[in-house]
Structure 1
Amino acid sequence: MTITIASQSLSQLPETVAEIYQQFPSLETEALKLVQTPLRIIDKPEGVLYVTQKEYAVLKNDDENLSMIGTDDATTCHIVVLVNRKESSVCVAHIDSTDDLDEELTRMVLDVMGQQHAESDFYLELSIMGGYRDEMHKSEMLTLDLLQFYNDLPVNFQLKSLCVNSVNTRTSNGINWPIIYGVAVDLQSDFIISPAKFNLNVRGPCLSLRSSRFLSSQCSLQRVYHTGEGIFRINPFSYRYHSQMVDWIHKSDDFILNNFSTSPAVEPEHFPQEMKQVFQFVVHNPFPLASVFKFNKSVKYVPSPQGQWLKL
């Protein structure tokens, strides 16, 4: 099995993203179209499923309460979209690394595949977006790692979009910035992918808890929702509590950016405040297995037609 691009097999992965665009110019053309597409502002929670960093979710187009899925705030992180046309389902993931993630990434593919398809013509549509020409080349390494992983899986993929690196970079005052930070996939429009910005009020339940995963050594890539189950699930995890967090809450935005971001110069403007909310949450819940995940049980929510998440 392998990745195909415009009916050509990616038999050997090039060593740089530039070489990929050179070998498959249609990928660059499509990526340029995407970055030039008007930004969608998602400001109403009705029908919206948001995944944050280290999360993925699977939606089917017959979900009664949800009709859009997406993510935001990706700088060096990547957004992966997998579409299964046979089952009318889509998976969106917000990935910050592939290190030791083979099992989780494989499970994500199986989740969107649903029933095993033995047909020779079965494939998943693959789109990878996010990342930019950062100084440390973290984005490019992640792009190549993801492509290598999918190319090695015994599943057919059609790479529909690769909007990364130079194509997703703009320069201002001598600093490289991502163009696309987030995307939305509309289930009612044939899984069209659009650049998107999700306001904080539409990002789903317990955002501070979910965002605190970056403090945990246990968390990798978690599935938070699948239409087949209909439940938003936050599985138990613990994190490292630092006594300095009380002080971090009152630190300057520059301190937060320089100490807790992989790309401090280009983070969204709400990043410092969001991080402080995470620290505030952790200060009040230093032992989440006792205060949040009581009896080692997941925290669960169900969506309502009005866009609310109701705790079970």
Structure 2
Amino acid sequence: MVLIIQEQMVKEVPSSTAGIYATWSRLKETAHSLTTMLTEEVGPRGLLYLRQREYAVTNPMHDENLLILGTDDATTSVMAVLRHTGSSAVGLAHFDKCSHDECLSGVHICSHDDGVAHLLNRVNELSLGYTEGRLELCVVGGFNDNRAMCEKVTLSLLNAFHKAHAHIQLALLCTGEMNTTIRGNVSWPLVKGIGVQTHSGKIFPATFTDKGPYLTLRSTRVFTGAQQMVDVYDCALGLLRIGPFNYEPHAGVELLLQQSDEVILQCLSTTPEVEGPTWVKMVREVLKHIKEHPFPAVTIFPDNRPHYFRRDSLGQWIAAELPNNNDSTPDANVQAAVQAVAGATVASTGAWTQSIGVTTTSAPPTSVAPPSPWGTAVPPRYGSLHLDCRLKTQLTVPPVVNHHYDDSLLNPVKDRFMPAWQASQL
């Protein structure tokens, strides 16, 4: 349907966030109120922390486990809160750039539309039967960066909500000029993280002392180019779910691990001037994880099922038994990876031995050629690289050759990466 701002239906989203603020001045007031609030430090109890390209939805009327939804590290990304005022169902999503102008003619077009649709559908599902109330949207994050990346992400997201099949009231927009300050002649975001109180819907600036389980693994989805927004929380069971997902081995990992912190910061960050002090450490952990687990479909998700976590009596996340549901539907790409990498190998005796060590004398399975890690077409759902944007196998050329800023591991900014790579060849 349409976005609604200050009780006025929007015919078309303006072409700039400055234009939005100029047309609806009350949005500047609510944004200023948020940026002047004190930042709260949130502990682990009752918290569900989200990474980029993750979302979660709950209804506090039926979910006593979750008190706060939170996310941070929003520099060139945007955090969106969608809440139904009648049912109190609330969702938080962390969007970043997930489409490429260079690849729009390919088969892997991805935009914010799907992520917005999933978030909206989930909130509506938890609001069935409530005839009173409305949908309210709050968008926070992004600033006046020198490449206007935040502007593109924010406008893309607002247009996606504008096209959604619902009337959505834009209650808060804190981005661009209203979320920018100047520190040492450098533009800097005022709010990079938010918490959302699930019962009241209150939004506040936040940092987080504990970001939950498998944080490095979850970060690999972003750094290896996974495009889809994923729902990581089952509010009916109070379970955090992670995976399954797969990516390909990456030739550039070893080279990047050899670089200095400054090179990693300049190569892999979209906004190196404003990253936090622990950002490079996190990236190194992600790179090491990718190096140690080049085939996560085999080493981490061998049964193609999610890993589940629940809260214990102290409010900490602990591993949980897999529920009996349909989340483990096999994916053809993951199955192919398992067969190719961990499948049976033919022994010299004519018997064949499975990777788990069970030997049988029955006929060997049909030989399946392992996929080439550097050029085969990968279905978009689990493809870590765009189909025309592959890493090169030969290290006589730079292992990363494209300008796709949102795939920060796969495609660092070329002009930043080249000096580091050239120095490594001396």
Please state which band the TM-score falls in when normalised by the shorter chain: over 0.9
2:159 maps to which of 140, 148, 153: 148
**What residue number does 1:132 align with?**
143
Structure 1 Cα separation of the partners of residues 131 and 235 of structure 2: 26
Closer, same or farther in 2 for the Cα pair 1:230/1:118, shift >3 Å? closer
Closer, same or farther in 2 for the Cα pair 1:304/1:254, shift >3 Å? same
Tell me by how many angstroms 1:3 deviates. 1.1
The DSSP-based 3-state class of the residue aligned with 1:294 is coil
Structure 2 Cα separation of the partners of residues 223 and 32 of structure 1: 30
Matched, 1:12 2:20: no
Name the one with the larger strand percent: 1
Please say if residues 80 and 94 of structure 2, whose CA atoms lie closer than 8 Å, have aligned partners that are also in contact: yes
Matched, 1:310 2:318: yes
**What residue number does 2:115 align with?**
104
Tell me by how many angstroms 1:152 deviates. 1.2
Matched, 1:216 2:224: yes
**What residue number does 2:291 align with?**
283
The DSSP-based 3-state class of the residue aligned with 2:287 is helix
Tell me by how many angstroms 1:248 deviates. 3.0
Closer, same or farther in 2 for the Cα pair 1:223/1:119, shift >3 Å? closer
Closer, same or farther in 2 for the Cα pair 1:149/1:219, shift >3 Å? closer
Tell me by how many angstroms 1:118 deviates. 8.7
Structure 1 Cα separation of the partners of residues 126 and 14 of structure 2: 32
Matched, 1:161 2:172: yes
Closer, same or farther in 2 for the Cα pair 1:271/1:26, shift >3 Å? same
Closer, same or farther in 2 for the Cα pair 1:261/1:134, shift >3 Å? same
Matched, 1:274 2:282: yes
Please say if residues 89 and 126 of structure 2, whose CA atoms lie closer than 8 Å, have aligned partners that are also in contact: no
TM-score under structure 1 normalisation?
A: 0.93
Tell me by how many angstroms 1:117 deviates. 5.4
Closer, same or farther in 2 for the Cα pair 1:117/1:64, shift >3 Å? closer
Structure 1 Cα separation of the partners of residues 126 and 273 of structure 2: 44
2:263 maps to which of 255, 272, 276: 255
Higher relative contact order (CA 8 A, sep 6+): 1
TM-score under structure 2 normalisation?
A: 0.69
Please say if residues 87 and 133 of structure 2, whose CA atoms lie closer than 8 Å, have aligned partners that are also in contact: no
Structure 2 Cα separation of the partners of residues 136 and 5 of structure 1: 28
Closer, same or farther in 2 for the Cα pair 1:286/1:306, shift >3 Å? same
| Unmatched 5+ stretches in structure 1 | none
The DSSP-based 3-state class of the residue aligned with 2:303 is helix
Percentage of matched positions with identical amino acids: 32
Structure 1 Cα separation of the partners of residues 39 and 319 of structure 2: 32
Structure 1 Cα separation of the partners of residues 292 and 98 of structure 2: 31
**What residue number does 2:207 align with?**
197
Matched, 1:182 2:193: yes
Larger radius of gyration: 2
Structure 2 Cα separation of the partners of residues 150 and 305 of structure 1: 38
| Unmatched 5+ stretches in structure 2 | 100-109, 321-426
The residue type equivalent to 1:193 in the other structure is I
Tell me by how many angstroms 1:65 deviates. 1.8
The residue type equivalent to 1:191 in the other structure is G
Map of 1:111-126 to 2, 5 A cutoff? 111-114=122-125, 123-126=134-137
Name the one with the larger helix percent: 1
Tell me by how many angstroms 1:219 deviates. 3.8
**What residue number does 1:34 align with?**
34
Structure 1 residues 174-222: Cα deviation after superposition (integer angstroms, max 9, x where no partner): 110101000001124x1100011112xx111100000001233444211
